[in-house]
Chains A and B, each alone.
Chain A
Amino acid sequence: NAGVTQTPKFQVLKTGQSMTLQCAQDMNHEYMSWYRQDPGMGLRLIHYSVGAGITDQGEVPNGYNVSRSTTEDFPLRLLSAAPSQTSVYFCASRARSSYNEQFFGPGTRLTVL
């Protein structure tokens, strides 16, 4: 089991560029989430999904899009990157019956210039 994988590990973008952060899990988990982590702010929920074809907004969804076409994959799209989106992004997954034990990926460090 690879668990939760994220690519890329590091990325530098210019303001206005778009990109997709990839997330995949091989544990057949129903729930998947994207968080961003900024100094002093903890983990803030961006978007989440409770199953293929179902997504919803978290605390800080503006500037980000998601889709969930398969159970395994949950990509996060930045349509027009802004310096305020400089952060570390974590993808997480859990089984619906697991009483909140989330498994996190290793993170993607994104810098927007």
Chain B
Amino acid sequence: QKEVEQDPGPLSVPEGAIVSLNCTYSNSAFQYFMWYRQYSRKGPELLMYTYSSGNKEDGRFTAQVDKSSKYISLFIRDSQPSDSATYLCAMSAGSSASKIIFGSGTRLSIRP
């Protein structure tokens, strides 16, 4: 079993829709949770990160962590065609942890 599971999609939604992306994990030691965005043929870029459980909001993006269920989510409001990309969740066990484990990524397409 993989430490981090993520639905690969693809996910296609109309412009303006609310998008929900999710990951589950098995390692209860994970404390830092991140979302990366990767455009086609580019390297991933950090979008958001959260520590432990709770919500974090940044503009149209909201990250949620539920440690009791080992489940994290990324919500995108008012989705735009420029949000079309692959979204990867990532996790680590500590702030100075050397290993960051990634999910397989969800490919998202926003239709104009």
Contact = CB atoms under 8 A, between A and B. Distances in A.
A61 interface: no
Contact of B32 (A41, A100, A106): A100
Given A50-B98, A100-B90, A100-B92, 7 more contacts: A35-B102, A41-B104, A43-B88, A58-B99, A96-B96, A101-B46, A107-B43
Q: Which of B6, B44, B45, B92 has the most CB of A within 10 A?
A: B44
A36 to B, nearest CB: 11
Contact of A101 (B4, B49, B88, B96): B49
Given A90-B44, A106-B43, A42 B32 contact: no
Interface of B: 4, 6, 8, 32, 34, 41-46, 49, 51, 88, 90, 92, 95-105
Contacts of A90: 43-44
A67 interface: no
Given A40-B8, A42-B6, A104 B44 contact: yes
A106 B103 CA distance: 19
A31 B43 contact: no
Contacts of A43: 44, 88, 90, 102
